[in-house]
Amino acid sequence: MKCTVFDRAGYRITQREYTDEGFLRVPGRVARTGIQEYLARELGLDGDPMRVVRVYRPEDEVFNDASLSTYDASDVTNNHPHSLVTAATYKGVAVGVVRGPGRRDGDFVICDLIVKDQKTIDEIIGGKCELSAGYTAIYDETPGVTEDGQAYDYIQRDIKINHVAIVERARAGANARVFDHNPGGNTMPVLITTDSGRSVDVADPANAQVVADSFDRLLKRATDAESKADKAQATADKAAEDLAEARKASSDEAINARVVLIGNTQALARKVAGDGFTCDSLDVIEIKRAALAVALPKRDWSDKSAGYVEAAFDAESDKDDDEDDDKDENGKKKPKMPTGDTAAMLAQFLQLAKDGATPAVTADAAPTPYQAHKKSLSSAHKQKGA
């Protein structure tokens, strides 16, 4: 895997001198061997972009002639550019040049810089004086352990320098510092140990990102643990509620009530489906569904909802009761009598028919006009005949 990296591991500029033109010439440590820590996103790796990846820079890669020679004529930049320095970007980002190849100084690489941009020179004088290399390299995913017992995830090979950047803070922090000719000195280190086991000097601002990353990881672990605890408690509470419901359902009172309900349902089901109906289910709805399947076989009862089954079953059982009321003492069905206005009109017709068939006559009652007229006609006939 070949990656372009703007390495934040930087080193203090030392031994400053100025040319007649006002350019700043100064040697500086720009790289070292050993293990450096990167974020996965800096190397373009999959997975958590904020996880720490430990990369081993062995001596035979850092100090080989092919790698050291790439320092010569590489550009100096003020901060890292967004991409490698090329012919297309040079004019906008270069502020100087590295003169000559890199050379070994213990575990470090030293090179000679010439800074030509006045603004950058002023910033260096103001305290912006750490160095950071930008380069391409191949990252060999071969985990292992160094001779001094430090574990790593990748080995950095084929290192080719593109530029050297002047930065505020560098990856190596206090471990990368060397004394400058300018006044000043070191502060006493304040060491803490991060969750990864790394000892960090928090008095050095360059380590702020490392500490912040460590804190974020610890905070995420705590948040995840709290979330798991909440889920476990919710599961336990639900189990307790289910157990309470189960105990309630298994009480003598509940069992007796259910037995009575099933018995009543079986009795109604025999009214709906006939005395020969049987069902082994202890589910009330399933008993009613089975009875309806016998009583009304043309319907498909298998896909009917519980509410539909309940309503249909009640209608069928009520219908049987109505039919029993309409039977006489011999079991024959009684004729249905009209009701409402029809019944009232029929009653009037029956009364009129009855009155016409058996007219009511009383001795004391005066004859009706019709009777008087009929009587007069009869008398007249008799007189004419006489």
The domain of 283 spans 252-325
In a domain, 280, yes or no: yes
The reported pLDDT for the residue numbered 327 is: 56
User: Do 135 and 239 reside in the same domain of the chain?
Assistant: no
Residue 181 is assigned to a structural domain of this protein: yes
CA angle 182, 108, 104 (to 5 degrees): 110
* Together in a domain, 91 and 196: no
Residue that the structure tokens 């068939």 belong to: 357
3-state class (DSSP) for residue 274 = coil
> Is the domain of 86 the same as that of 152?
yes
Of 88, 111, 95, give the one whose Cα is nearest residue 27.
111
For residues 78 and 227, membership in a common domain is answered with: no
Q: Which pLDDT score, from 0 to 100, does residue 249 have?
A: 63
Same domain, 30 and 71: yes
Token couple for 204 = 């050095």
Residue 386 lies in a domain: no
The helix or strand, by DSSP H or E, that contains position 281, with its residue range, turns out to be none
Q: Which of 250, 270, 300 is the last residue of a domain?
A: 250
In a domain, 321, yes or no: yes
332 located within any domain: no
Dmax over CA atoms of the chain, in Å, equals 182
What's the confidence (pLDDT) of residue 158? 94
pLDDT at residue 263, as a whole number: 87
Identify the pLDDT of residue 30: 87
Whether residues 116 and 243 share a domain: the answer is no
pTM metric for this prediction: 0.45
Q: What is the pLDDT of residue 239?
A: 83
The last residue of one of the domains, among 325, 344, 377, is: 325
**Tokens standing for 345?**
């009109």
Task: Please report whether residue 131 resides in a domain.
Answer: yes
Are residue 319 and residue 244 in the same domain, yes or no?
A: no
Angle at 240 between CA 238 and CA 243, to 5 degrees: 110
Please give the DSSP secondary-structure letter assigned to residue 251.
S
By the 8 A CB rule, do 60 and 74 touch?
Answer: no
132 contacts 168 by C-beta, under 8 angstroms: no
Asked if residue 118 and residue 82 are part of one domain, the reply reads yes
Q: Of 163, 186, 209, at which residue does a domain stop?
A: 186
Residues 84 and 229 placed together within one structural domain of the fold: no
Is residue 19 located within the same domain as residue 38?
yes
User: For residue 182, what pLDDT is reported?
Assistant: 39
Question: In terms of DSSP H, where are the helices of the chain?
Answer: 59-62, 65-69, 90-93, 118-125, 208-249, 252-273, 284-295, 306-325, 340-357, 369-385
Cα–chain-centroid distance for residue 345? Answer: 75
pLDDT of 194-249, one tens digit each? 666 666 565 555 556 666 677 777 788 888 888 888 888 888 888 888 877 777 66
Q: Do both 10 and 65 map to the same domain? A: yes
90 and 6, same structural domain?
A: yes
Say whether 282 sits in a helix, a strand or coil. Answer: coil
Is position 179 within any domain? yes
Q: What angle do CA 204, 210, 215 make, to 5 degrees?
A: 115
Pairing assessment for the beta strands 154-167 and 52-57 based on DSSP bridges: parallel
How far apart (Å, rounded) are the C-alpha atoms in residues 116 and 254? 94
pLDDT at 369: 62
Mean pLDDT by 10-residue block, N- to C-terminus, for the chain (386 residues)? 58 73 90 88 86 94 96 94 92 96 92 94 85 90 93 94 85 38 41 62 58 74 86 86 72 80 89 88 90 90 91 83 56 52 56 56 57 63 52
E strand or H helix at 337: none
How many domains in the chain?
A: 3
Is 201 within a domain?
Answer: yes
